[in-house]
Structure 1
Amino acid sequence: MMLITPLLGAESGFQALPVAFSLGKALLLIGVVLTLAIFIIPRLLEVIVRARLREILMLGGVIIIIGTAWLTSWLGLSLALGAFIAGLAISESPYRHQLFAEILPFKDVFNSLFFISVGMLLDLRFLGNHLLPVLLLGLGILLAKGLLGGLAVKLLSGSTRMALLVGVAISQIGEFSFVLARFGQDFRLLDADLYQGFLAITVLTMLFAPRLMAAAPHLAGRIPERLDSRLARDRGKTASEILATTGNHTIIVGFGLNGRYLARVLKSSSIPYCILELNPRTVREAQKEGEPICFGDASRLEILQMVNLSGARVLVITVTELPITRRIISVARLNHPRLHIIARTKFTMDVDELYRIGADQVIAEEFETATEIFARVLAEYDLPRNFIAAYIDTIRREGSPMLRQPQLPAVSVEKLRQLLAGSIVQNFLLLEDSPAAGKTLAQLDLRKRTGATIIAIVHNDRSTANPPADSVLTVGDLLVMMGTHRAMDSVEELLSPK
C-alpha cells in the first residue's frame, strides 16, 4: 500500500512507467533487506555485542533502525516502512532478544507519543457534529472485520470458539492505518473531513477493542455446543482411529512441554492415551511423529466424547488458562463422575476453586516451585533427608495455604517432631551390587549398625516372618523393616549399591 499510494494520488492518472519504477524500487528494496538481514546486520551486531556494553548495544540498535529508515526514504519510500524493514532484519539476529530488551523503553515512550499525537490530531468538534455516523460506521467496521476474520478461522480450524476469539482480536483498526492515512492525505487521497472521520472511527474502535477482548472468553464459553458439531463430525473418524483403545486410557489436554513429557512416560509404560490440542501446527507435527493426537477444544462435550470420555480413567489438563481449565473440569465431571481429573494451574489461589468444581488433584506451579526451593535450601544445610521429606509431606497434607502464611504454625512443627520420633514400617528391595547380597542377617547386624529391625523377608514370592540370624540375603529379596525415619535413612545408605 505504501508503494501504491503515490500512484493512486497521481494527477495524470495511471502510467506504466511510474508503476514499473515503483516495482523496481520495491524489488531493489527487497534485495537490500535480504542483504542486510543475511550478511551485514548480524555481523554488525556481533561487533557491537563484543564490546559488552549495554549502552553501545542500545545505541547500535537505534542507529541501525534509523539508518534503514533513512535509506528507504532516500529510495523514495516512507520512513515508517524503513523502520518496519529494519525490525525484520534485526529479528534474524541471534541477539534480537537482548536488543529488544534494550530498546523496550524507547518503545513505551514512542507509543505514548504516537497516541498523544493521534489525540491532538482528532477534532472533537467534528466528532460532536458527526457522532451518530461515526458510531454506526465504527460498529459496522468492528462487526465486518470480526466476521471476516472469524469466518476465515472457522473455515481453517472448524472451531467456533477460536473463530470468535480471533475475530474479536482483529476487529479494531490497526495503528499502522494512521500512518497510511497520513500518507494518503499527503497525496490528496483524503480531504480534511474524510481524514477526521477516519481518525474518529479508528479511535472509537480502539476504545472498544480492549473491552471486547476482555469479554470474548466469556462469550466463547456461552456458544452452544451444536455450533461446533461439524468439527466433531469432521474429526470424529480420525480421532477414533487415533485412539485405538477400548478404554481405561488417559486423555491429555494440551501438548506443550508438560504434555509431551507425560505422553513419553505413558508410552514407555504401555499405558494407552490420547491428546487434544488446539494448535493446528502442533497437531500436524505430532501426527507426523505418530502421536495419538487430534485437533479439538476439550471444553466441548462432543470433543471429549470423540476421544471416548466415558471409557477414560484419567484426564490431565496441562494448559494453565484458568477459564479454559474451569470449563473442561465442569464438562468432564458432569458427564463422567468417576473420572480422575488432574489439573494444572499457575497460582495457589486458584487451587481451592478447581477442587470445588470437580478436580481430584490440582498442581499449582507456584506451590511446587516453593517446595522445591526450600527443600534444596534445607539440603544445602545438610539437614537429614528424612526431615526434609517429612516437612514436605506435612505441607502437602496440610494444604498450600500454609505457604501463604508468614511462618509455619507451631502445630505443624510439633507434628513433624512426632513423625520423626515414631517408628514406621518400610520395604527395601535388595538390588544387584548391594553390599548386603550374599550375607546373613548375623553378618549384616543391621539393628546394631542402624537401629532398624528386619521383621520379614519376601523371597521368590514367599514371606518369612521373624527370619533367623542365619538367613542369607540374595538379590531381589524384599526386606520389611521397622524403625525411625533416621534409621531408615541409615539403612538406605548401608544397603544401596555403591
Structure 2
Amino acid sequence: MAQLIQDLTILLLVSLPITVLFHRFKLPTVVGFLVTGMLIGPHGLGLIGDLESVEHLAEIGVILLLFIIGLEFSLSQMLKQLGRIVGTGGLQLGLTAVVCFFLFSAMSFPVNQSVALGLLIALSSTAILLNMLNERVELDTLHGRIAVGVLLFQDVCVVPFMLVVPLLAKIETISGWSFLWAFLKAVGAVGGVFFLSRLLVPRALGRIVQVGKREHLTLFVIFIILGTGWVSHQIGLTLAMGAFIAGLILSETEYNHQIILDILPLKEYFVSVFFTSVGMLMQVEVFLEQPGFLLMLAAVVIAVKAVMAFVAALLAGTAPRIAFIVGIRLAQVGEFSLILAAVALETGVFDSRLYQQFLIVSILSMIVAPFLIQVSSSLSLRLFKGGLAADSGTQSKATQVSDHVIVVGYDTVGQNLSKVLREVQIPFTVVDLDGQQIKRALVEQCHGFYGDATQRSTLLRAGIRQAKMLVVSIQELKALEQVVRLARQLNPNLYILVKTRLASEVESLTQAGADLVIPAEFETSIEIFSRVLREFGMPHNVIEQQVELMRLEGYRMLRGLSLNMDSLANFSTYLTASLSRSFLVLEGSWANGKTLRQIELKTKTGATLIAVVRNQEAQPNPIADFTIEVRDVLILFGSHAQLDQAHRLLQDGPSTKSESRARVN
C-alpha cells in the first residue's frame, strides 16, 4: 500500500507541471499525461520502476474513468437515436474491422491475430473524444452527436469483444457453441444492465435517499461499482467493463446528477492516472528498434480509421463535410482497445512484442488525435467547397421572393424564430444539415431544405442575394465564420445576425462580417441580473444603463435588451400589451428641468404619464406646467413600443425618427 501511495504521489508531482505547461501553450492535456508516463515509467527515468505497480495504476485509472464515462452516458438517449447509432456505428465498426483484417493478413499475420487487431483498431477513444468535445463545447453539434452515437455503439460492442478475444487463442478448436455461449453472455450482460437500471436500482436508491443520509448514497454507489465489477469478472469480463456497466446502471436513475456532482471533481484525476499509466507501459526501446515502421503503421491505422468512419457516415446519410469531421474525430485507437490487448496478451493471442507494437501505435494515435480534432473543422471547410449542390431542375421557393429571412440551424432558437416569423407573416426559409431537424421543420409547416450553409450553392438556393436578413444559429465556430464570410460576399447589403456560445467568439465573427453577434452565455447573465433588478422595483432606464455598461464591457455589438424566447412565441400579443413602467430622472436626462407641456410625452410617444413620485410622495395626474426635477420617478403607462419610445425621449430628447414612429403607433 505504501508503494502504491508513493507511486501516485510521484505521478501527480510530475504530471502537474507538465500539464500546466501544455495548457499554457494550448496543447491537449491528454498528450501531457502520456508524455508524463513515458518520462517517469520503468522505460523512461524509472521514477516508477515496478511494472506491477504500473499495471495496477492503469487498472485503477481505467476502472474509475470508465465508471464516470458510463455515468455520463444515457441509455434512454441512446434508444432515441438507435437508428443513427446502429447505422453509422455498425458501418464504422464493420468496415474498419474488415479492412484491418485484410491489411494485417496481407502482412502475414496469423488469422487470429488479424481478427483481434481488426476488432481492437475499430474502437475509438471515448475518454479523449468526450474530453475534447466538452472542452470545445461541441457535444450539441451535429458531428458531436454522431460521433458520440458511434462511441456508444462501440462501447456496447466491447462486451461481446471481451468474450470473443480469448476464444481466438484456440481458434483451431473453436466450435459454434463457443461463439453462441459468448453471444449469450453478452446478451445477458446487456439485459442485466437494462433490468437493473430500469427496475431494481432506482427503487433501492429511492429507499436509501428517503431513510438515509448522503453518505449512504455514496456507500451504495461504491457497492454498485464493486458488485457489478465482481459479477462481470465471474462471467469473463474485466473489472473495467464492470465499472462501465455500473455507470450505465446509475445513469438512468433520478439521482445520477448528484452522483456526478460528487464524483466529477475527481474526474481529471482519474483521467491523469489512466493516461499517465498508459504512457508508462510503452517500451521506448521497442519503438527505437523500428521507428520508421511503427510511425508508418500508426499513420496507416489513423488513415484507415478516418476513411472508414467517413465512408460509414456518408452511407448513413450524413453530409460530406460533417462526415469528414466525424471521420477525423474517430481516427484514434481507444482505451477499451488497450484493455482488450491486455486480455489478448494474457490469453496468448498476442505475444509480448506484438502487444508492445500495438501499444506504441495506439499511443501515437492518441497523441496525434487532439491535434487532428483541432484542425478538422477548418480542414473540412477547405476540402468541401463544392458542398451540397441544389437539386437540378428544381427552384427553391426562397429564390422566388425577396426581403425574406434565411434561418440557418433549426435548433431551439431557429424553431422559436420561425414561429414568430410565421405568425407575423414574414417570408423565411430554413437551412439545416440535420435531416431530422428539416423533417421537423416541414412538419411544422416551415419552408426549408437540407443543405450545408457553408457552401455557396446552398446559400444561393436559399436566395441569399434577394434576402434581407440572415440568422445563423449553429454550434461550430469555424462553420459560423464561413457562413458569415460567404453570405457577406454574396450579398454586401444583407443584415447578418449570429447566435454564438461564448463572448470570446464575438470578435472573430464580427471580423467575418456579422452585423450583430449574440453570445448565449453573456446574454443569459444579462437577462438574469435584469430580472433581479426589475423584481426589486429598479427603474427601467437604470436597468437599461447597467445592461449597456455590461455589454460595452463584455462586447461592443449589442445596443438593446433582447426578448426572451417565451415572449417571442407570442410576438403580436407582446407588442400590443399595455403596462406601467417607471423612469428615474438623472442629471443628464433630457427631461430634467422641463415642464410636461414642453416634453409633449403623449403626442410624441403615445405613452401616458399617470403619476410623479418626488421625495417618496406620489403626485397623480400632474398638470401641464409641472416641472420635472432630478430624482423624480415618472410612472408611465402604454404598450412596450410606446414605453420604449418614452424612455428614449425622456433620456435623450426628441428625434424625427421617434416622432414618426409615434404617429404610426
TM-score w.r.t. structure 2 length? 0.59
Alpha-carbon offset, residue 59 of structure 1: 2.8
Q: 1:401 aligns with which of 549, 552, 558?
A: 552
Mapping for residues 171-186 of structure 1, pairs under 5 Å: 171-186=331-346
Alpha-carbon offset, residue 255 of structure 1: 1.5
Alpha-carbon offset, residue 303 of structure 1: 0.9
Match of 1:315, SS state, is strand
Tell me: CA distance 1:285–1:94, structure 2 relative to 1, closer, same or farther (3 Å): farther
Matched, 1:485 2:485: no
Alpha-carbon offset, residue 299 of structure 1: 1.6
| Amino acid in the other structure paired with 1:427 | T
Q: 2:495 aligns with which of 336, 340, 350?
A: 340
Match of 1:309, SS state, is coil
Aligned residue number for residue 246 of structure 1 = 401
Supply the distance in 2 between the matched residues of 1:132 and 1:50 (Cα, whole angstroms): 62
Supply the distance in 2 between the matched residues of 1:419 and 1:364 (Cα, whole angstroms): 32
Aligned residue number for residue 134 of structure 2 = none
Q: Deviations over 1:131-179 (max 9, x none)?
A: 1111000000111110111122233345332122111100001111001
Supply the distance in 1 between the matched residues of 2:344 and 2:443 (Cα, whole angstroms): 48
Is 1:41–1:90's contact at 8 Å kept on the other side of the alignment?
A: yes
Matched, 1:448 2:623: yes
Alpha-carbon offset, residue 415 of structure 1: 8.7
Match of 1:342, SS state, is strand
Aligned residue number for residue 251 of structure 2 = 91
Alpha-carbon offset, residue 44 of structure 1: 1.8
Is 1:452–1:482's contact at 8 Å kept on the other side of the alignment?
A: no
Q: 2:305 aligns with which of 131, 136, 145?
A: 145
Alpha-carbon offset, residue 21 of structure 1: 3.1
Is 2:506–2:555's contact at 8 Å kept on the other side of the alignment?
A: no
Alpha-carbon offset, residue 420 of structure 1: 4.8
Aligned residue number for residue 374 of structure 2 = 214
Alpha-carbon offset, residue 424 of structure 1: 6.6
After TM superposition, the structure 1 stretch with the greater mean CA deviation from structure 2, 350-359 or 291-300, is 350-359
Matched, 1:134 2:299: no
Aligned residue number for residue 74 of structure 2 = none
Alpha-carbon offset, residue 289 of structure 1: 3.2
Matched, 1:71 2:242: no
| Amino acid in the other structure paired with 1:319 | I
Match of 1:222, SS state, is helix
Q: Deviations over 1:400-425 (max 9, x none)?
A: 334589xxxxxxx9997234526475
Number of equivalenced pairs: 435
Supply the distance in 2 between the matched residues of 1:144 and 1:483 (Cα, whole angstroms): 63
Aligned residue number for residue 322 of structure 1 = 477
Aligned residue number for residue 442 of structure 2 = 287
Supply the distance in 2 between the matched residues of 1:356 and 1:119 (Cα, whole angstroms): 42
| Amino acid in the other structure paired with 1:192 | S
Is 2:407–2:470's contact at 8 Å kept on the other side of the alignment?
A: yes
After TM superposition, the structure 1 stretch with the greater mean CA deviation from structure 2, 285-294 or 327-336, is 285-294
Alpha-carbon offset, residue 316 of structure 1: 0.6
Matched, 1:311 2:466: yes
Aligned residue number for residue 427 of structure 1 = 605
Supply the distance in 2 between the matched residues of 1:167 and 1:234 (Cα, whole angstroms): 26
Aligned residue number for residue 441 of structure 1 = none
Is 2:228–2:242's contact at 8 Å kept on the other side of the alignment?
A: yes
Supply the distance in 2 between the matched residues of 1:178 and 1:64 (Cα, whole angstroms): 24
Tell me: CA distance 1:12–1:247, structure 2 relative to 1, closer, same or farther (3 Å): same
Matched, 1:2 2:162: yes
Match of 2:407, SS state, is strand
Tell me: CA distance 1:380–1:481, structure 2 relative to 1, closer, same or farther (3 Å): closer
Alpha-carbon offset, residue 274 of structure 1: 1.3
Match of 1:44, SS state, is helix
Aligned residue number for residue 29 of structure 2 = none
Is 1:172–1:209's contact at 8 Å kept on the other side of the alignment?
A: yes
Aligned residue number for residue 113 of structure 1 = 273
Alpha-carbon offset, residue 181 of structure 1: 0.5
| Amino acid in the other structure paired with 2:396 | S
Q: 1:298 aligns with which of 443, 450, 453?
A: 453
Is 2:399–2:462's contact at 8 Å kept on the other side of the alignment?
A: no
Tell me: CA distance 1:387–1:28, structure 2 relative to 1, closer, same or farther (3 Å): closer
Tell me: CA distance 1:320–1:12, structure 2 relative to 1, closer, same or farther (3 Å): closer
Supply the distance in 2 between the matched residues of 1:17 and 1:156 (Cα, whole angstroms): 33
| Amino acid in the other structure paired with 1:179 | I
| Amino acid in the other structure paired with 1:401 | L
Supply the distance in 1 between the matched residues of 2:374 and 2:393 (Cα, whole angstroms): 32
| Amino acid in the other structure paired with 2:268 | D
Supply the distance in 2 between the matched residues of 1:224 and 1:482 (Cα, whole angstroms): 50
Tell me: CA distance 1:72–1:163, structure 2 relative to 1, closer, same or farther (3 Å): same
Tell me: CA distance 1:178–1:386, structure 2 relative to 1, closer, same or farther (3 Å): closer
| Amino acid in the other structure paired with 2:203 | R
Is 1:54–1:102's contact at 8 Å kept on the other side of the alignment?
A: no
| Structure 2 residues not aligned, in runs of 5+ | 1-160, 557-583, 611-619, 629-641, 654-665
| Amino acid in the other structure paired with 1:97 | H
Is 1:250–1:312's contact at 8 Å kept on the other side of the alignment?
A: yes
Matched, 1:169 2:169: no
Supply the distance in 1 between the matched residues of 2:300 and 2:453 (Cα, whole angstroms): 33
Q: Deviations over 1:320-370 (max 9, x none)?
A: 543222211110011111211112234445444433432222223355345
Tell me: CA distance 1:427–1:452, structure 2 relative to 1, closer, same or farther (3 Å): farther
**Could you tell me the percent identity over the aligned residues?**
32
Supply the distance in 1 between the matched residues of 2:166 and 2:288 (Cα, whole angstroms): 32
Tell me: CA distance 1:137–1:108, structure 2 relative to 1, closer, same or farther (3 Å): same
Aligned residue number for residue 113 of structure 2 = none
Tell me: CA distance 1:244–1:268, structure 2 relative to 1, closer, same or farther (3 Å): farther
Mapping for residues 219-230 of structure 1, pairs under 5 Å: 219-226=379-386, 228=387
Aligned residue number for residue 418 of structure 1 = 589
Alpha-carbon offset, residue 42 of structure 1: 1.4
Is 1:235–1:295's contact at 8 Å kept on the other side of the alignment?
A: no
Q: Deviations over 1:216-274 (max 9, x none)?
A: 12212212522x2xx2245984x826x48523211111122211111111111111111
Greater relative CO, 1 or 2 (CA 8 Å, sep 6+): 2
After TM superposition, the structure 1 stretch with the greater mean CA deviation from structure 2, 378-387 or 269-278, is 378-387
Supply the distance in 2 between the matched residues of 1:5 and 1:160 (Cα, whole angstroms): 34
Q: 2:539 aligns with which of 384, 405, 421?
A: 384
Is 2:432–2:451's contact at 8 Å kept on the other side of the alignment?
A: yes
Tell me: CA distance 1:21–1:319, structure 2 relative to 1, closer, same or farther (3 Å): closer
Is 1:314–1:339's contact at 8 Å kept on the other side of the alignment?
A: yes
Is 1:278–1:297's contact at 8 Å kept on the other side of the alignment?
A: yes
Q: Deviations over 1:260-302 (max 9, x none)?
A: 1111111111111111122233233333333323222212111
Alpha-carbon offset, residue 385 of structure 1: 2.9
Alpha-carbon offset, residue 189 of structure 1: 0.2
Between structure 1 and structure 2, the one with the greater Rg is 1
Aligned residue number for residue 474 of structure 1 = none
Tell me: CA distance 1:49–1:195, structure 2 relative to 1, closer, same or farther (3 Å): same
Alpha-carbon offset, residue 7 of structure 1: 1.8
Is 1:72–1:79's contact at 8 Å kept on the other side of the alignment?
A: yes
| Amino acid in the other structure paired with 1:265 | V
Is 1:287–1:293's contact at 8 Å kept on the other side of the alignment?
A: yes
Is 2:163–2:236's contact at 8 Å kept on the other side of the alignment?
A: no
Aligned residue number for residue 411 of structure 2 = 256
Alpha-carbon offset, residue 40 of structure 1: 0.7
Alpha-carbon offset, residue 11 of structure 1: 7.1
